[in-house]
Structure 1
Amino acid sequence: MQSRTVRLVASTVAALTAAGLLAACSGGDSGGSTTPSSAPSSGSSGGDGVDPALKVPAPLPTGDLLNNPCAVLSASQLTTIGLKTEGVPDDRTPKACSWVSSTLAQNSVGIGALPQNAAGISDIYDGKSSAAYFTPTTVDGYPGVYTDKADLRSSGTCQLWVGVTDQLAVAVGTTIGVGSNKSNPCPIAEKVATAMIEHLKGAA
C-alpha cells in the first residue's frame, strides 16, 4: 500500500506525498485517512492583498511543517485519533508525513505543507475553477477548504487545506480503504487538522 500512500499535493510546481491510513477515530468504528492528492492549479494571488476572510488569526510555527512534518502531531494525539505513533516521512521537497491506522492497514492520513504557494490558502482559493469540489471551512478558527482536482470522497479520499500563516497552506489528506468512515472521510481530515493546529499552538 506504500505506493498508494498518501499523495499530498501537487501544485503546478511540485508534488508532495504523505502516506498513512487512519483507524477508528472516536470510539468504535474505524476510519482511514488518505493523502492529500493534488491541489487545483493555483493562480497566485500575489501575497500582497490577502482576502480578510482568509487571513489567519495568529500565524503558527512552520519549522516542523517544512522540515520535520512527522513531528506536527504528538504521540498522544495520534493514539487518540487511532493512528500508529510512528510516522512515515517523505523527504522529497516539499516534505510530508503519513501515519497508518493502528488497527486497519488499509487506512491512512497524510500531512504536508506547500511552500511554493507564497500566498498560502489564498492560492488554493484561486484554483477553485479547476476543482472537482470546493467547500470552504474553518478549522479551529483557521481558514480552510475541502478541495481536490478529482472527487474521490465516496471512496475514502478527502483533501483539506488549512492556512497556518498568510503565506503557507497545509494539506491534510485521508485514504480510507475500509470501515464506516470510507463513505464520509472528510471529518477524519478535520480531526487530524484540528490536532495539528493544537499541537502547533503549543509550540508557538
Structure 2
Amino acid sequence: MRSDQHTPKHITWIAAGTVVALSLLTACSGGTGGTAEPPASGNPGPSSSGTSSSTANGAPKVPAPLPTEKLIANPCSALSDDDAKAVGLAAPGKLNDITPRGCDWQSADPDLKANGITLSPITQNTNGLADTYSMKSSQAYFEETQIAGYPGVFAAAHDSRKTGVCDLVVGVTDQLSVVIVASIVRGKNVENPCAPVAKIGTAMINHLKTES
C-alpha cells in the first residue's frame, strides 16, 4: 500500500474490505440448521440450558449473551466516544452504506489518518460464530482467540495481514457475531494489524457489558 494514500481512498477501501469479509462470512448463513432465533430482538436469553461448551461446527459458546439491540440499530454505538479515544480512534464513528450497516472509525493521530477500522454486526448469520466456523476450510487463515472472555476468530479468505489488513469475528451472542476489519497503512502496526483490532474488540465487549 502506498504511503501517500489519501484518506478518502482509504475509507472506500475499508468499506470494500468489509464487504468482502461479510460476503465470505455469510456464504453459509443458516447452513447449520437454521434453528437459532435471529438477533433482532436485542438481548436473547441464555445460550443453552445444557453443559456443552460449543455450538454447531465446533464454535465456542459465548459465556453470557450481550445486549445487541442498540448495536444492530446503530453499529457506531459499539464504542462510546471515550472508548474510541482510549484505543486511539477519532470520535465519533461514521455509519457506512455497507449491508449490513457498519461503522467506520479513523485513527485520532493526525499522522495516521489513513488508518482505520470498520465494525459490522453480521445479522445475516443467525447462528452467530458457528456460521463463520462453517467456512473454516475456505479461509487463508483461521486463528481462534478470546476477546475479553468472548470467543473470536481471526479469519479471511485472503491473507493480507502483512499489508495491514486483519479481520476479526467475535461472538456476542450464540446468534450474532460482529466482524471488525482493520486497515493499517502507516505506522508501527502495518505488519501487525491484528493487535490493534483485538484491542478494539475488547473495548466493544467491555462497552456492551455496561449495557446489560
Q: What range describes the TM-score normalised by the shorter chain of this pair?
A: 0.7 to 0.9
Distance 2:20 2:184 in 1: 20
The answer to whether residue 25 in structure 2 is matched with residue 39 in structure 1 is yes
Match of residue 55, structure 2, among 14, 26, 50: 50
Match of residue 184, structure 1, among 162, 182, 192: 192
Q: Is the 8 A contact 2:60 2:151 kept in 1?
A: yes
Counting helix residues as a fraction of each chain, which structure ranks higher? 2
Identity %, equivalent residues:
41
Q: How many angstroms does 1:140 deviate by?
A: 1.1
**Correspondence for 1:23:** none
User: What is the TM-score when the length of structure 1 is the normalising length?
Assistant: 0.81
Match of residue 141, structure 1, among 115, 140, 149: 149
Q: Which has the larger radius of gyration?
A: 2
Q: What's the Cα RMSD here?
A: 2.0
Q: Is the 8 A contact 2:102 2:118 kept in 1?
A: yes
**Correspondence for 1:27:** none
In 2 relative to 1, CA 46–9 (structure 1 residues): closer, same or farther, beyond 3 Å?
A: farther
Match of residue 203, structure 1, among 190, 194, 211: 211
In 2 relative to 1, CA 62–107 (structure 1 residues): closer, same or farther, beyond 3 Å?
A: same
Q: How many angstroms does 1:64 deviate by?
A: 2.2
Q: How many angstroms does 1:5 deviate by?
A: 2.5
**Correspondence for 1:159:** 167
Partner SS for 1:198: helix
The answer to whether residue 115 in structure 2 is matched with residue 107 in structure 1 is yes
User: What is the TM-score when the length of structure 2 is the normalising length?
Assistant: 0.78
Higher relative contact order (CA 8 A, sep 6+): 1
Q: Partner amino acid for 1:4?
A: W
Q: Give CA deviations for 1:166-188 in whole Å, capped at 9, x if unaligned.
A: 01110011000011100001011
Q: Is the 8 A contact 1:157 1:173 kept in 2?
A: yes
In 2 relative to 1, CA 140–9 (structure 1 residues): closer, same or farther, beyond 3 Å?
A: farther
Q: Which runs of 5+ in 2 are unaligned?
A: 1-8, 36-53
Q: Give CA deviations for 1:19-74 in whole Å, capped at 9, x if unaligned.
A: xxxxxxxxxxxxxxxxxxx4384362225582476111111111122110111101
Distance 1:40 1:129 in 2: 14
**Correspondence for 1:132:** 140
Distance 2:151 2:19 in 1: 18
Q: Give CA deviations for 1:105-131 in whole Å, capped at 9, x if unaligned.
A: 110011001111111001101101110
Partner SS for 1:5: helix
Distance 1:39 1:112 in 2: 12
In 2 relative to 1, CA 119–5 (structure 1 residues): closer, same or farther, beyond 3 Å?
A: same
Distance 2:99 2:124 in 1: 10
Q: How many angstroms does 1:97 deviate by?
A: 0.2
Counting strand residues as a fraction of each chain, which structure ranks higher? 1
Distance 1:108 1:101 in 2: 6
Q: Is the 8 A contact 1:108 1:174 kept in 2?
A: yes
Partner SS for 2:171: strand
Distance 1:94 1:166 in 2: 18
Where do residues 76-95 of structure 1 align in structure 2 (5 Å cutoff)?
Answer: 76-95=82-101
Distance 2:151 2:189 in 1: 24
Q: Greater CA deviation, 51-60 or 91-100?
A: 51-60
